[in-house]
Amino acid sequence: MANTDAEPRGEFRFLLADKVAFGRGALDRLPGEVDRLGGRRALVITTRSLVREGQLLARVTQLLGHRHARTFCDVGQHTPSRDVWAAVEEARRAAADVVVSLGGGSAIDCAKLVALALGVDIASVDELNRLAHEHAHSAADFALPPHIAISTTLSASEFSSAAGITDEVRLVKGTIRHAALAPRVVLLDPAATLATPPALWLSTGMKALDHAVERVCAPDHQPLVDVVCLEAIRLLRAHLPASLDPTEAAMAARGCCQLAAWFSFFGWPNVRTGLSHVLGHQIGARFGVPHGYTSCATLPPVVRLCYSHQAPDHLASIASALDLPAGLPDVGEAVAQAIERLVARFALPSRLRDLGIPADALAGLAAATVHELIASGRTALGAAPADVERVVQAAW
């Protein structure tokens, strides 16, 4: 649906998720959901940081009890293909019939790919990388082992039916998309986020803001997506700064931020994200930078150099959600500056140079981003090669 100012017309596709449980105590539903989905042998996929923290993983395995088959904890940032394939082999050794992801986007995407490999009997890591490089979007129907996602960040990968995977040899990140990849159950328990390092929590909050801004500004934006994404922006502005305070109110703020992350991704797959998100894919694959940090550096120049010209009316709505004054003469600049103030308030890196990206790598980064925009069908989102080059230079 490209124009919501005229007569509304279009369609909306919902993900195949069964349930989203949110609020304190949501984690306690885990054993019942495994049983409801018919699971008997659960593979938990998580990260080394949560193994070191210990308490949250222990709680999950305690809840699973006899249903817990094994735990795989070697998932790196941006789901390197070698880590995914090691998890697939672990799942096959465990005869897993349900996958439980515990962590942020990398653990969740890894679990999606493990379920895919089990469900369609993918034979090798090379096959996974090939599918991702082609940005495969199969129309075939197939059944995958159910996936229950326990999110500990604000990345919102649990609400996507796509999974990113990094080819370490070629230093590119690709995506596999299919409706069946969406987790069947999502558990959003703010208590489960307390183990998340503050910088990771805040930076993934900026990633959620990135999702929401880009969906509102997208040429194919939709009325329902606009409403929930603008609410996501409002919730993040109101609650992300307070979510780290050592108070009881901070737990409620964390819960509101989890809702914001959900809302920021609610439009998937109806409305795609744009240039900032694709830049994050390629920066992550080439330099190992987490997506939350890439959003801090790329979203302001994307707003300033692209959306201020392509979507000025939409930016006015975003400005209102950010509690900026009405009638600003340059709303794109005002929104970009508001995002930059949040980044500074959270003491997060704001430039590509701060992320260790050298100037002589910018041309290659821009070219890889343009390739993904074309391969993933995002050319209608207003990011021409010249736009990409301008944004990359401005972000550096």
The terminus-to-terminus CA distance of the chain in angstroms comes to 34
What pLDDT sits at residue 293? 95
For range 91-111, the mean pLDDT: 96
Nearest of 6, 344, 43, 263 to residue 255 by alpha carbon: 263
Q: Read off the pLDDT of residues 301-330 as tens digits, 9 standing for 90 and up.
A: 999 988 888 888 899 999 999 999 988 989
Task: Please state, rounded to an integer, the average pLDDT across all residues of the chain.
Answer: 90
Please give the angle made by the CA atoms of 54, 109 and 380, to the nearest 5 degrees: 145
Q: Which residues of 147-184 are buried (b: 16+ CB within 10 A; e: fewer)?
A: bbbbbbbbbbbbbbbbbbbbbbeeebbbbbbbebbbbb
pLDDT at 139 over 50: no
Tokens matching residue 235: 């919730």
> Mind listing the domains of the chain with CATH numbers?
19-193 (3.40.50.1970), 198-395 (1.20.1090.10)
Is residue 372 packed enough to be buried (19+ CB in 10 Å), middle (13-18) or exposed (0-12)? buried
The better pLDDT of the pair 291, 39 is held by 39
The better pLDDT of the pair 22, 247 is held by 22
CB 29 within 8 A of CB 21: yes
**pLDDT level of residue 380 (50, 70, 90 thresholds):** low
Q: Read off the pLDDT of residues 40-93 as tens digits, 9 standing for 90 and up.
A: 999 999 998 898 888 999 999 999 999 999 999 988 888 889 999 999 999 999
In the chain, what percentage of residues exceed pLDDT 70? 95
Q: Read off the pLDDT of residues 353-369 as tens digits, 9 standing for 90 and up.
A: 999 999 999 999 999 89
Predicted structure pTM score: 0.90
CB 132 within 8 A of CB 164: yes
Tokens matching residue 15: 């993900």
**pLDDT level of residue 220 (50, 70, 90 thresholds):** confident
Q: What three-state secondary structure class fits 186?
A: strand
CB 91 within 8 A of CB 118: yes
pLDDT at 351 over 80: yes
Q: Read off the pLDDT of residues 158-197 as tens digits, 9 standing for 90 and up.
A: 999 888 888 887 777 778 888 889 999 999 999 999 989 9
Q: Read off the pLDDT of residues 264-291 as tens digits, 9 standing for 90 and up.
A: 998 888 888 889 999 998 898 889 898 8
CB 263 within 8 A of CB 198: no
CB 171 within 8 A of CB 288: no
Amino acid at 173: K
What pLDDT sits at residue 11? 86
Residue identified by tokens 């465990």 is: 94
What pLDDT sits at residue 194? 92
Q: Read off the pLDDT of residues 256-269 as tens digits, 9 standing for 90 and up.
A: 999 999 999 988 88
Residue identified by tokens 């649906």 is: 1
**pLDDT level of residue 138 (50, 70, 90 thresholds):** low
